[in-house]
């Protein structure tokens, strides 16, 4: 900060005329036997008047500029999405993790909250302005991710001048909808993250001729139509997806299950022991299409997925643009 800027700051804050400030500065210099420059003297005066000129500038850090490896990060953002807290067990220890997507108009970033930090999730709603303090960033799947340090926290802002999160209507664009809006019957598409996989079943024997499930009878696998067969395997997975508006149980059969985990059946079979521990898919976003049906046994809605696709950023942004244009 140059001398004139310091003087201006002192004028603004104190309301004193420039001449008075200049006199104070000269006095201070002589008081200190001319050992300080006029800038130095001005700094001292400002400090004596309670002005902190060395305060960090108010320029806000934009999300698009956040990189991995930042320590002591303070960030102002709006909540874009809040995913449900997930429980996990690691080396015999139970833990919790919750992901929140933050946005500030320049970009979005994931914040992951761990264990007791997950308690924040209850207070966080999409659209809210928040300030995160004493946070840090870490690389996760090639992208920076925000985490809170032990002293870190989240402050809810009463007012926030960041752009509102525009809720881009997805209905009617290729059947795209949100989980909170899906209803039974018809097919639909959602963009959501896989947040849970149930560790049941997985591999089933099937007839290589007709791909129907076959069971072992008297020591061999028999298809009702094709007789005794050396079975092929199919993968069936079930889990929960969440798009921030809600979550729903899903069932993935065959290729859809394989697309979800990004593997071929041969590779999946190789992992058969400890299969679920070796998957690294939780938290990944996909575009899911399928049909909603009611599981009569449990009386709950289920999404029977018939296609799983990776999120293609270009197609996604085109879709959003088209929706905006057509509105
Ligand atoms: Zn068969």
102-137 pLDDT per residue, tens: 988 777 889 999 999 999 998 998 889 999 999 999
> 63-156 sits in which CATH class?
mainly beta
> How far is the centre of ligand 1, averaged over its atoms, from the C-alpha of 216 (Å)?
13
> How far is the centre of ligand 1, averaged over its atoms, from the C-alpha of 222 (Å)?
8
> How far is the centre of ligand 1, averaged over its atoms, from the C-alpha of 206 (Å)?
8
> How far is the centre of ligand 1, averaged over its atoms, from the C-alpha of 252 (Å)?
21
> How far is the centre of ligand 1, averaged over its atoms, from the C-alpha of 224 (Å)?
7
> How far is the centre of ligand 1, averaged over its atoms, from the C-alpha of 227 (Å)?
7
* Rounded (5°) CA angle 283-285-291: 115
pLDDT of residue 15 exceeding 70, the answer is yes
Q: What's the pLDDT at 301?
A: 84
> How far is the centre of ligand 1, averaged over its atoms, from the C-alpha of 263 (Å)?
25
Contact 25, 46 (CB under 8 A): no
> 179-326 sits in which CATH class?
mainly beta
Average pLDDT over residues 50-75: 76
More confident residue, 149 or 80: 149
Token digits of residue 143: 């992208």
> How far is the centre of ligand 1, averaged over its atoms, from the C-alpha of 309 (Å)?
29
> How far is the centre of ligand 1, averaged over its atoms, from the C-alpha of 208 (Å)?
7
> How far is the centre of ligand 1, averaged over its atoms, from the C-alpha of 232 (Å)?
11
The H-or-E segment that residue 315 falls in is: helix 313-326
> How far is the centre of ligand 1, averaged over its atoms, from the C-alpha of 211 (Å)?
6
DSSP line for 243-285: -SS-EEEEEEEHHHHHHHHT--HHHHHHT-TTHHHH---TT-E
Can you give the residue ranges of every domain in the chain?
3-48, 63-156, 179-326
Q: From CA 23, how far away is CA 34, in angstroms rounded?
A: 14
The H-or-E segment that residue 308 falls in is: strand 300-310
Check for a shared fold between 63-156 and 179-326: yes
* pLDDT tier, 5 (very low <50, low <70, confident <90, very high otherwise): confident
Contact 132, 115 (CB under 8 A): no
The H-or-E segment that residue 30 falls in is: helix 18-31
Q: Give the pTM.
A: 0.46
* pLDDT tier, 140 (very low <50, low <70, confident <90, very high otherwise): confident
Q: From CA 191, how far away is CA 288, in angstroms rounded?
A: 6
Average pLDDT over residues 19-43: 85
Contact 141, 68 (CB under 8 A): no
């Amino acid at each position: 900060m140059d001398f004139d800027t310091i003087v201006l700051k002192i004028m603004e804050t104190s309301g004193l005329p420039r001449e008075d400030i200049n006199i104070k500065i000269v006095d201070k210099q002589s008081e200190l036997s001319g050992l300080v420059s006029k800038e130095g003297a001005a700094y001292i005066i400002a400090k004596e008047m309670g002005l902190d000129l060395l305060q960090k500038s108010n320029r806000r850090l934009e999300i698009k500029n956040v990189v991995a490896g930042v320590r002591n990060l303070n960030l102002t953002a709006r909540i874009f999405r809040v995913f449900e807290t997930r429980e996990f067990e690691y080396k015999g220890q139970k833990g919790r993790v919750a992901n929140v997507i933050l946005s500030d108009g320049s970009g979005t970033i994931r914040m992951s909250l761990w264990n007791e930090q997950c308690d924040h999730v209850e207070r966080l709603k999409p659209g809210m302005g928040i300030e995160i303090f004493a946070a840090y960033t870490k690389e996760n799947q090639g992208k920076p991710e925000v985490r809170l340090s032990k002293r870190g926290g989240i402050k809810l802002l009463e007012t926030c001048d960041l752009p509102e999160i525009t809720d881009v209507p997805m209905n009617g664009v290729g059947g795209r909808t949100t989980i909170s809006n899906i209803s039974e019957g018809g097919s639909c598409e959602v963009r959501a993250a896989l947040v849970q996989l149930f560790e049941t079943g997985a591999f089933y024997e099937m007839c290589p001729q007709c791909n129907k499930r076959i069971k072992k009878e008297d020591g061999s696998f028999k298809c009702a139509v094709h007789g005794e067969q050396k079975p092929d395997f199919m993968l069936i997975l079930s889990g929960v997806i969440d798009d921030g508006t809600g979550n729903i149980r899903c069932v993935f059969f065959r290729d859809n299950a394989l697309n979800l985990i990004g593997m071929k059946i041969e590779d999946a079979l190789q992992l058969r022991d400890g299969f679920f521990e070796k998957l690294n898919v939780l938290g990944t976003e996909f575009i899911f299409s399928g049909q909603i049906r009611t599981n009569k046994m449990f009386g709950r809605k289920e999404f029977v997925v018939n296609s799983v696709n990776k999120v293609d950023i270009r197609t996604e942004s085109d879709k959003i643009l088209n929706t905006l244009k057509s509105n």
